[in-house]
Each structure stands twice: as C-alpha cells, then as structure tokens.
Amino acid sequence: MSALILEARDLELRFGGVQAANGASLKVHANERIAIIGPNGAGKTTFINLCTGYLKPQAGRVFFGGSDITALSPRAITRLGVGRSFQIPQLFLENTVIENLLLALSARERTWSPFLRLDRHPKTEEMWALLDIVGLKDAGRRVVRELPEGMRKLIDIAVALALEPKLIFMDEPTSGVSSHEKFQVMDTLTRALDARATTAIFVEHDMDVVARYASRVAVWAGGRIAHEGTPDEILNHPEVRETVIGVGV
Amino acid sequence: MARQLIIGAGLLAALIIFPLLSPWSTVILTVALCEGLAALGILVLLRAGQVSFGHGLYFAFSAYVVAFMAAARFGHEVLILVPVATAASGLLAALVGLFVVRYRAIFFGMLNLAISMVFFSLLEKLFSITGGADGKRVPRPTLAGISLERAEFELWIFYITLGLAVLAALGVARYLLSPGGKALEAIKSNETRLEYLGVSSRKVLFGAYVLSGLLAGLGGAVIALVSGHVTPELAYWVRSGEFVFIAILGGVGGVVGPFLGALMFQIIRGYAAVYAPETWHAVLGVMLLVIIFFAPNGLYGLMTGRKPAGTGQ
Amino acid sequence: MVRMKWAAALAAAAMLGAPALAQDKPKELVVGIATFLSGPASVFGVPGKNAADLLIEELNAKGGVLGVPVKPVYVDEGAGTNQLLSEYRRVAQEQGAQVMFGAISSGSCNALAPVAEDLKVVNVMWDCGTQTIFEEGKWKYSVRTQAHAGAEMMSTLLYLMKAKPDFKTIAVVNQDYAWGRESWALFQAGLKALKPDVKVVAELFPKFGAPDFSTEITRLSALRPDVVLSTSWGGDLDTFVQQAAARGLLKQSTFVLPLAESSLERLGNVLPEGVIIGGRGDHYWLHPKHKNSPEMLSFVKKYKDKTGVYPIYPTFHMAQAVIGLAKAYEKAGQATGGKWPSKEQVIAAFEGLEFKSLTGTISIRSDHQGLEDQLLGTTKRVPDYPFAVYDKMALYPGKLVTTPLGEKSLEWFAKVKPELVTDTSIETFDYAK
Amino acid sequence: MPPEMLLLAALDGLAYGSLIFLVAVGLSLIFGVLGVLNVAHGSFYAIGAYVAAAGVLALTGMGLPPWLAFPFFIVAAVLVGVIVGGLVETLLLRRIYGKEEVLQLLVTFAVFMILEDAQKVVFGVQPYFANAPMNWLGTIEVFGIFYTQYQLILIPTVALLVLVGLRLFLRRTAFGRAIVAVTQDRDAATAMGIDATRVYLITFIIGASLAALGGALSSATTSLTPGIGSGMIVLSFAVAATAGLGRIEGAAVAALLIGLGRSVAVYFAPEFDVLIPYLIMVAVLLIKPEGLFTTVQTRKV
C-alpha cells in the first residue's frame, strides 16, 4: 500500500447534547478514493470540518503528511495541500464563475499584484480547463448567484481543484446533478484526480456512485466509523444495507 | 468601465474649469475632494462589507500632524507636509488595523468608533498640547519653496488635490479589479471560502484598511492646509458618519461615486446653509433618506443605471 | 495647458486681491454674521442673531449706513470650523460681503482672523473673548468691539477681593476648553499676586456639555472651599448651579460666576442671594446708569416682545458691533467727503473710534482691541422679578482693568497691585427699582 | 484621600450609570431583535427629556403639585416611544430590514440628523430645565455630604425596576418569549408563526420608550441644550458594545462599570474621566470581541 497521507485519531466533539464525533478515526493513503456514507446526523460533515480546521476536536489528533494539523486554521491546512468542497457550496455569489476560479488560481500562485487585473490573469487557460472538467465551460461568464444549486456544487469542486491539493474532501459532490449526468461528471472528475495524483475523500449518498468510484468505503454512525472496507464488502454488508442504504435483506 | 471613465472625465473637466469661473468655490471644491478621498477609503472597506464609523480618526490625525509640523516650522512645505502626514496616517492605520481586522460587521464599526472617540477626547482634553476644542492654527506653508498669496495658494492646492484624487481614484479602481481587490470583495460574500482558498482574510482586510487610512489621511492633510485651522471636531463620530453618508450618497459602484457624493454633499450643505441655516442637518438627513429609498446605488448608480459590482442586493 | 491655468490663476488672484479705493455706493452693504445657530453655544448665538435682526432693521429704517441699507447673511458657527471657514469665504467672495462679524467662540475667531486678512474683508469680532488674538498677533482687518477675557477676569478678581477679602481656599470648576482653561490661568496669576496665601483646593475641568456634575459637587462638598469659581456658561452653568443648589453647595461656599448674567432669568429661583455674578462687560438690561435711557428701554421692549425674554450679554455685544460698524462707516465717510469708503478706510476709521453703546462707551485702541467697562454684582432676590438681580454693583472702567497696550495679559496679571482693588475710579451702586 | 471617598465616588457613579443603562438597554434590545444599530437612539433620549421638561414646567406653571411629574415622566416616555419611535419604525425601518447593514445604519443616522433639528425647531436653543421633581424629593446626608434623593435613590430604583421588569417580561409573558425567539433565530421564529413585523414594531417602541424615560428622568437634574442626544448615543454604544449587543443584564453591569469608572476617575485622574467609557469599550472588545456577555456563533457550512 502507498504512503499514509492523512490520519485522524480518536476525534471527539460534543456540542449541546450531540456527540458529533465520538472517537472518529480514519487512515487515508495516497491515491485512495474513500467514500463516506451514513445516515444524516451521523457526523460525516463534522468529520470533514474537524479534518480541515473549521472545527477543533475536544480530544484526538489529525495528521497530514506526518505533521499534526489539529490546531491549524483552515487557511493553514489549505496551504499544506488539503482542498475542500462543501455540502452547501461556498462561493462568491456576486462574482462570475470565471472570477471565482481565477481568484482560487491567484491564491495558489500568490499573484496579488495590484497592477494585475484579475480578468487578465496569466492562468486563464488553466481556468477554462478546470471548468471543462466539471462540464461548465458555457456558464463561465455568468454570475454565480444566478446559477442553480447543482451547478454551484460543481463549481465549488472546480475551485477546490484549482488549488491543486494533494488531498481533496468533497461533501456530496453530485447531489445536485441529475442522475444521468452523474456518471459523466464523476468520470471526468476521477480522471482529473488521477492525472493530478490527488487523493479524494467524498461523502456520498448514491450507492451506484460509491460502487463505481470508491476504492474504499467508510460507514459513519454516531460520530465514528462503524464499518470500513471495499465497496463490495460494505455494500453487501447486511447491517449497512439496512441502516444506511435502507434495503432490508 | 467605459461608463465610469466617461462620468469620471466629465466630472474632472467640470472640476478643472469651475474654479476659474468662480474663484470663491475653490476652497469648497477642495474640501469636497478631501471628503471624497476619505469616502473613497470608506468605499474600499464597504467592498469588504465593513463599515467604519471612525475614519475621522485618520482624517484628524493627519490634519493634526500637519498642524504640529507647521507650528514647529518643521518641513513647512506642502510637498513635505502632505506626504509625511499621509504616511503617518497610514502608519496609524497599520497599527490600529492589526487589531480591528479581526472584527467584522457591527464590531468592526464599533471598535473603529471607540478608537476614534478616544482620539477625539484626547484632542479635547490635552489642552496644553493640542489647543483643546479650539484647535490649532496652521500657518500657510510654502509650495515648492515659494510663498504664495492666499488665492494662488488655494488654486494650486486645489489642482494638486484634484491630481492626487484622480491618481487615487485610478489606483483604487485598479486595485479593486486586481486579485487582491476581488479577494477583498470575497470577505463580504464568503469569508469561509476565502479562508479555504488559503487566503488570509485578515491580511486582505489589513491591506484595504491601511489603504483607507492613507486615503482619509491624504484628505485630512489637505483640509488642514486649506482651512488653515484644525479642530478635534475632525475626529468626532458625526464626521466619520458623514464619510459613510458621502460614500452611499455617491454610490459604491465605482470610484467616481464618492467624489460625486462629496460634491453633492457640499452643494446641498451650501444651499441649506443659505436657505435653511438653522435646519441644514435635517435637509441633509432627508436627502440621505431619499437616496437610500429611491436610489440605493447612489448618484453613480443613477447615472450608470447599473447595479454596483460586488454588492449583495 | 499648465501655462493657461497659471494665467487664469493669476487673473483670478488679481481680481480678488486688488485693494479697493473709495468707490460708488453699493445697493446694499452685505454683512456676513458668524454665530452659533446649532449646538450648545446657540444659547448665545441665537440671541445674538435675534438682536442683529432687530438692530439692523432699526438701522435701515434710519437710512442704513451712509444711506446704504445693511443686509445680514448668517453663517452657522456650530457647523464646525472647517465648514465655517468655507461658508465665511463664500459669503465674503460670492455674496460680496464687505464686512464680516466673526465670531462667538475664540476658536472660530482664531481661525477667522487670518482668513479675513487674506480676503481683505473687515472682520468685527463681535463676541469672542480670547485676549491672545491681539496680544500675540497683528491683524489689520480685524477689530474687536468689546473687552477681552483679561478685563473680564481682572474685574472679577478685584470684585471678589473687595467683597470677600478674607477667603483662604478656592476651587475652580470650568468647562474643558480654551475659555475655561485660559480664564482660570489669568485668574490664578492675578490671585497669586494679590493674595499669595490662598490655597487652590481643586481644579476641575469637566467635559464641555457634561450632563452631570455629581462627582464634582461631592468633591467640593467634602473640600468645603471658601470660594468656588466657575466661568462656565449656558447649559453647563445651569446644570452645575442647579445640581449644586439642590445639594446645598451654594450656601456652603461663595460662588463666583462671571458669566451668570446670561443665565439669571432661566435660573429663576435656583440662584440664592450672595452669589457674585458678571456678564462679560458692562452689559445688563437693568444697568444702574442706563436702564432708563430711551435707547435701552426701546431695545429691551422690542427684544422682549420678539423673543419673550430679557436681553442677555451677547445681544449687547451684537449691538456694539452694529453700532460700532455704523459709526466707523460714518467716520470713514466724513474722511472721504461722503463717498463710499473702501474696506481699508473703514478699518482705519475703527482705530481710535469712540462710540456710545447701550450701556456705556466703547473705544477702540490702535491694536484694534476695544475698551469696555466691566459690571459685577452680587445676587439679590427682589419682589419685582421672579429671578435674581444685581446688587452691590461695581463698575470698573475699561482702561483700569484692560491689559495695557503692548503687554501680555498673563504677565500683567502677575504684577497686579492691591491698590487696584480700591481704585477711586470704580463706581458702586445698589439695586434700585 | 479618606477611604470613604471611594464610597462617595461610587454613589456618584450610580445615578449616572443608571441613566446610561436606561438608554443603552433600549439600544441593546433593539439591536438584539431588529439587528439594527439605532443611531437615532440618542434623539429619543433628548426628545423624552424635552417633552418631560416642557410638561413639568407646564404642570408647575399651573400650580399643580410637583409629584405629578413622576407619573408624567412615564406618560411622556411612552408617548415619545409610540409616536416618534413608532413612526420611525413603520415609515422607515420596516422598509429596509432586508437591505445591507450600512443602509440600515445610515437610515437611523438620517433620522438622527432630522430629529436633532426638529428638537431645535420645537423647543428652541435656550437651555431648558425643570428641577421641581428633584427639589421636591429633597436631600439625604451621607458622611456629611448632601445628595439629592432623586439621584441617589429614585433614578437607580427606576433602573432596577426596568431591569427586573424587562427580565420578567421577556421570560414570563408570551409576547416577551416571542421577542426572545426572534432574537435567537428569526427564520425559525417566523416559521413557528410569530408575527415578526409586530415583534419588531413593539420592540422598537419599547426601546425608544426606555431611551425617552432615561431622558425624562435626566430632565430634572440637567439642562437640556441642543446636542445632548449625540453625546448620549456614543456612551450608550459603549455600554451596549461592552456588554455584548442584545444583552440586558450585561448592559446593567457595563453601565455601572462605566458610571463608576468615570466618577473614580474624577477623583484620581480628572484628566481622563471622558476617556473612561471608550477605554473600557476598546479594552473589552479587544479581549472579548462579542462583548462581555455573549457567546460565539459559527456559520453552518
């Protein structure tokens, strides 16, 4: 097996009366495609928030590339090479799609000269290529606010990809995409990840997507991993089928 | 952009010609430019969704730097006073900025207000140093080594200020189009994403804050020169509120906006002072309400008929 | 392009700067009047404006100035110094005012004097009191038609020394701005010279416009000074006196309130007997020598009819400015043989001018400082009015209490001699109906 | 300095702090519910003071007993709250709740400018004062120093009653709970069927009335001059921000802190008494940005 790049160790987080993380642990190796599945409220998004610095665990540690990132800010973690797309897309709504992506590229390239116009950014070509990956070249000049949620989710992923992360978290990447387009999007996306040698962890509800694109599946329940294994093992696990997929044996 | 250039060029042409036709307007127009510069600083912060009710601090600080240097006959020369005072304001903004950029929305506004009021109170209280509420005189300095008569001096200061204002407006416009400017707008629309781009929103805001302090400082330095007198009132919260007023009146959609707003502000105030000397505050208040309710994008928005970029409406 | 601008600038400068010679009579004489129309000091500014309206109307009914009607244009001093300066310029340049009255606050006067020089416009300092203006600067175009803080504080000090010669301790509660600080500095300098053993037990400078003096009053109650001096005015004075009276402080110490004349009517029955009061000059509508002169009776009646209250010192200051201006034009007109005098000729006429005000005689020194008598008194309650009146009055000749020409007030105060207290030129009066 | 002086300083700070509390708590309440920082709040204080003073002068002018002033203060405060506050909310604020914060702030700034001049036009510029209620209550002696009962007892008592009353109102009454619900989560409260429009209006009226009550109470102790509102507004900002906007008990503590701080300063460092409120505010905001009594909330992602 290839190198370990992310390790979450016994993460604990309780807010109010909810145990959002309860000894959550996960090891991620380079080039894995890990799908996280589980019922709503199982703590899947909380886990991503803990790994990317948005929330701080009350106990436990997170390591990335061998160093402890538990206490780091989202910004610092992002700079280390962890990208992220969100369940509710986090974009600059008043700006165009192009501007959103170019800003991400500026952040990566650290091109902050006040004399450079964003719309004349030297990385414009790469920006179009990124849009192509999520199939949204035509929407480039539109303002994000006017776009439907599904498109925004894809742009959110493109923004995360623009940073060329070593590891990317995607929170329900295809939830807004119609079922017949899902596979097309996931195909190009996976190809792009392969080409960049980017490791990916994604929360997913569609078991067909999980079966087809995940190399490993982690089943979340009660703030921790209940089961872990290959898609085949997990999707045929009777308990998982009942509690997560909602199909009785 | 083209529209902005046309409006800007029109305004500029009018400003170049007007003082020659009616000399009495020179000082009023210079004051308008100074307030426009401060409002331009407010515009920069508004792009990040932040409102400062305390930029009178930088306006007044720079004006007092000019007054102190002039009183000490230290560098009693426009070409020294203005850059030094502006830079001093920028430094102060950098110092204050270290703290305030950690805050957002109402807390950002409040903290700016509080700090400016501390400065205001000190100016009033430290009578032996600052002259208290009566302020300090600013003897007229030389300009490029030449001692000028009042009218000449005022005219020259006006054109110099006009030139500086044009440069400042172009510079800010350029900055707002740059990645840094867009990142600034991103603080308003989605700070979370900005952080997840690996960009420090505090650093971005810090840069903008220093810029706004410099702009307000430039305005304050010039106003000290043309008034020949500085008072703590320059730092009072109502003055800071006027800068925000002017920015909104003119419209934050383009860098020409604050200058349009400042001119309009001076015109209304001038007329109100003549026709309603005892109720000019109310006249301005009504004007502000009219703008907010019927033209929320300000005069600039009315002229371009466009929604301002980067404002969430 | 640059050269054109230069040329135009020079042309504009020449247009403005050309000194005017005696010329044809204008249609009207525009007088710009800077006064507080907003803010706390409008307690003086608005009465000043009311008086100006009244007096100018009267003046115009009698033919105006050399046959030219006077038109007042008001500028709000309360709008802040910078706004005041640009308004002042606009009135002088655009509206063509030949004369400006500026202003009430010393800060404004300090700021306006150099502008008046630049604009070459006659600037009558109609109310401001700072003595430093003509002691530290020389202003060709500015003139003051009333006394300065030096005369006011000297007469107050002399009156106190006479009325309560054996006091041992004093506390001061002044507003925290130039007037409050400077008036105390002068008073203290004189006090040291006349009575070096007096102990200053507290120097309090509450914020201008403070709504509450509880802490200051508690301190004074505990310290029990023989004398409490306060040069505060307007709402601040009213609040301070009110709160002090309610807590018995006015009975405990002798209060010296050199500006209380302007608050007498408002304070009504709050002010007890025995408080030393003044009114920045010899102004008092019940002036012992002039209360029954036809001019005074007519002015008081007209003013009361118009505003519902008795006139206070700023209205008399305004009267002095208006009368002084008319007299200066008259004098200048004689010099030019009836021709309309230039601004320079008017200013020249002001030097050495002597004219009758409503309450005495004003003479303008060569440094453009006016000499004015000072009236102080002690409060007395009488059945004739629902408020305190002056009693045990002393009238100090302006020449006696004004810093001599060429000297600085602070230095002059420091060498004041005790003989001044009992100078024979001081007239005294008691209240008479 | 004898040690009892400290106690005396504290007594002085009490009345002042209580007045600031009354104004600041209204400001804080309005911000908590409407999310609007009301710059015109100082004007409500001033108008309340003027109306009360004019009323008391009329009462005593008619030869009526001075104690009638106390019920009249409440009437005046409610009148100002309902008429001026109600008009401002229904005619202006209601139309901009969805808009940007800066626009909301500027609407109240415009109202402030208009009301400042309106006061001048209606009540004139001469200082107004109506001290009959203060004199009627007489004085009380503490360590040989006379205090007015009005400042030492009445004003702090009213402040305490308002504090307790507001607490009970917000916790025990249905409408009070609706206000709290709107404060905590506007959308959820509306979804639960709470009429947010009405809650906004009534909250604004209560807040404005409290400011006016503070003004009415101050009218007996201080002279009313143009501009009293603009000084008060910054002070009440300082209190509200120190406490944390929307915190009622916090406003009481902060107001007391500022009142005491100021009077202690008059004893030990009279040069800095005016700086105290702002210094406290800056210090608190720097150490605990949301104010002393608020907890942090994060955005859901």
- Shortest Cα distance, chain D CAs vs residue B152, angstroms: 36
Average pLDDT, chain D: 85
Which of A243-247, D69-73, D125-129, D209-213 has the lowest average pLDDT?
A243-247
User: Is the minimum CB–CB distance between D271 and chain B shorter than 8 Å?
Assistant: yes
CB proximity list for C74: less than 8 A, separation 6 or greater:
B277, C32, C33, C34, C35, C37, C49
Q: Is the CB of D106 less than 8 angstroms away from the CB of B244?
A: yes
List pLDDT tens digits, range C106-146: 888 888 998 898 889 999 999 988 888 898 888 999 999 99
Q: Which of C60, C87, C94, C91 is nearest to C73 (CA)?
A: C91
List pLDDT tens digits, range B155-175: 999 999 999 999 999 999 999
Examine the domain organization and report whether A172 and A68 are in the same domain.
yes
Give the three-state DSSP class for B258: helix
Give the per-residue pLDDT at C15: 41
List pLDDT tens digits, range D50-60: 999 999 989 88
Examine the domain organization and report whether A180 and A237 are in the same domain.
yes
Report chain A residues whose CB lies below 8 A from the CB of B1: none
Residue of D nearest to B50 (CA): D102
Identify the CATH number of the domain in which residue A65 sits: 3.40.50.300
Q: Where residue D2 falls among pLDDT bands split at 50, 70, 90?
A: low
Give the three-state DSSP class for A110: coil
List pLDDT tens digits, range C121-132: 999 999 988 888
Give the per-residue pLDDT at C43: 86
Same fold flag, C27-147+294-371 and C150-279+373-429? yes
List pLDDT tens digits, range C196-214: 999 999 888 888 778 788 8
**Do C and B have ≥3 inter-chain CB pairs under 8 A?**
yes
Q: Where residue B116 falls among pLDDT bands split at 50, 70, 90?
A: very high
Q: What is the pTM of this model?
A: 0.86
Examine the domain organization and report whether A172 and A158 are in the same domain.
no
Burial, B174: exposed, middle or buried (Cβ in 10 Å; 0-12, 13-18, 19+)? middle
- Shortest Cα distance, chain B CAs vs residue D80, angstroms: 19
How many other CB atoms are found less than 10 A from the CB of residue B75?
Answer: 16
User: Is the minimum CB–CB distance between B23 and chain C shorter than 8 Å?
Assistant: yes
Percent of chain B past pLDDT 90, that is, above it, reads: 42
Give the per-residue pLDDT at D293: 64
Q: Is the CB of D105 less than 8 angstroms away from the CB of B51?
A: yes
Percent of chain C past pLDDT 90, that is, above it, reads: 61
Residue D7 tokens read as 């106690």
What is the pairing mode between strands A199-203 and A33-37?
parallel
Residue C403 tokens read as 């810093």
Residue of A84, A95, A117 lying closest to B196 (CB–CB) = A84
Q: Where residue C314 falls among pLDDT bands split at 50, 70, 90?
A: very high
Specify the CATH class of C27-147+294-371 in words. Answer: alpha beta
Give the per-residue pLDDT at B313: 34
Complete DSSP assignment for B142-204: BBTTB---HHHHHHHHHHHHHHHHHHHHHHHHHHHHSHHHHHHHHHHH-HHHHHTTT--HHHH
- Shortest Cα distance, chain A CAs vs residue D189, angstroms: 20
With contact defined as beta carbons under 8 Å apart, do D248 and D28 qualify?
A: yes
Average pLDDT, chain A: 86
User: Is the minimum CB–CB distance between D87 and chain B shorter than 8 Å?
Assistant: no
b (16+ CB within 10 A) / e for B12-30: beebeebbbeebbbbbbbb
Handedness of CA B72, B76, B80, B83 (dihedral sign): positive
List pLDDT tens digits, range C215-245: 888 889 888 999 999 999 888 898 899 889 8
With contact defined as beta carbons under 8 Å apart, do C124 and C99 qualify?
A: yes
The pLDDT of residue B86 is above 90: yes
Give the per-residue pLDDT at C345: 92
The pLDDT of residue D120 is above 60: yes
Rounded CA gap, A227 and A38, in Å? Answer: 10
Average pLDDT, chain B: 88
List pLDDT tens digits, range C337-363: 888 999 999 999 999 999 999 999 999
Rounded CA gap, C91 and C85, in Å? Answer: 10
Give the three-state DSSP class for B225: helix
Handedness of CA B127, B130, B135, B139 (dihedral sign): positive
With contact defined as beta carbons under 8 Å apart, do A156 and A170 qualify?
A: no
Examine the domain organization and report whether A153 and A210 are in the same domain.
no
Residue of B nearest to C9 (CA): B152
The pLDDT of residue B307 is above 80: no
List pLDDT tens digits, range D147-188: 888 888 899 999 999 999 998 998 889 888 888 888 777 778
What is the residue type of C244?
A
Specify the CATH class of C150-279+373-429 in words. Answer: alpha beta
Rounded CA gap, D289 and B217, in Å? Answer: 27
Give me the architecture of the D4-287 domain, per CATH. Orthogonal Bundle (1.10)
Q: Is the CB of B156 less than 8 angstroms away from the CB of C9?
A: yes
Examine the domain organization and report whether A74 and A43 are in the same domain.
yes
The pLDDT of residue B310 is above 50: no
**Can you give the three-state secondary structure of chain D, one letter per residue?**
CCCHHHHHHHHHHHHHHHHHHHHHHHHHHHHHHHCCCCCCHHHHHHHHHHHHHHHHHHHHHCCCCHHHHHHHHHHHHHHHHHHHHHHHHHHHHHHHCCCCHHHHHHHHHHHHHHHHHHHHHHHCCCCECCCHHHHHHCEEEECCEEEEHHHHHHHHHHHHHHHHHHHHHHHHCHHHHHHHHHHHCHHHHHHCCCCHHHHHHHHHHHHHHHHHHHHHHHCCCCCECCCHHHHHHHHHHHHHHHHCCCCHHHHHHHHHHHHHHHHHHHHHCHHHCCCHHHHHHHHHHHHCCCCCCCCCCCCCC
Domain hosting A233: range is 1-81+167-249
- Shortest Cα distance, chain D CAs vs residue A87, angstroms: 7
Give the C-alpha distances (Å, rounded to integers) separating B224 from B82, B234, C315: 10, 10, 33
List pLDDT tens digits, range A200-232: 999 988 888 888 898 999 988 888 888 888 888
Residue D124 tokens read as 């004139």
List pLDDT tens digits, range B220-264: 999 999 888 898 989 998 889 999 999 999 988 889 999 999 999
User: Is the minimum CB–CB distance between D300 and chain A shorter than 8 Å?
Assistant: yes
**Do D and B have ≥3 inter-chain CB pairs under 8 A?**
yes
The pLDDT of residue C7 is above 70: no
Residue of B nearest to A158 (CA): B197
Q: Is the CB of B189 less than 8 angstroms away from the CB of A92?
A: yes
With contact defined as beta carbons under 8 Å apart, do B180 and A112 qualify?
A: yes
With contact defined as beta carbons under 8 Å apart, do D276 and D227 qualify?
A: no
Examine the domain organization and report whether A114 and A237 are in the same domain.
no
Q: Is the CB of B292 less than 8 angstroms away from the CB of D110?
A: yes
More confident residue, D27 or D131: D27
Domain residue spans of chain C:
27-147+294-371, 150-279+373-429
Phi–psi pair at C394, nearest 5 degrees: -130, 130
With contact defined as beta carbons under 8 Å apart, do D187 and D18 qualify?
A: no
Q: How many domains does chain A have?
A: 2
Give the per-residue pLDDT at C8: 44
Examine the domain organization and report whether A180 and A236 are in the same domain.
yes
Instruction: Out of A129, A164, A199, pick the residue that ends a domain.
Output: A164
Q: Where residue B103 falls among pLDDT bands split at 50, 70, 90?
A: confident
Q: What is the side-by-side order of every strand in the sheet holding C361-364?
A: C354-356, C361-364, C370-371
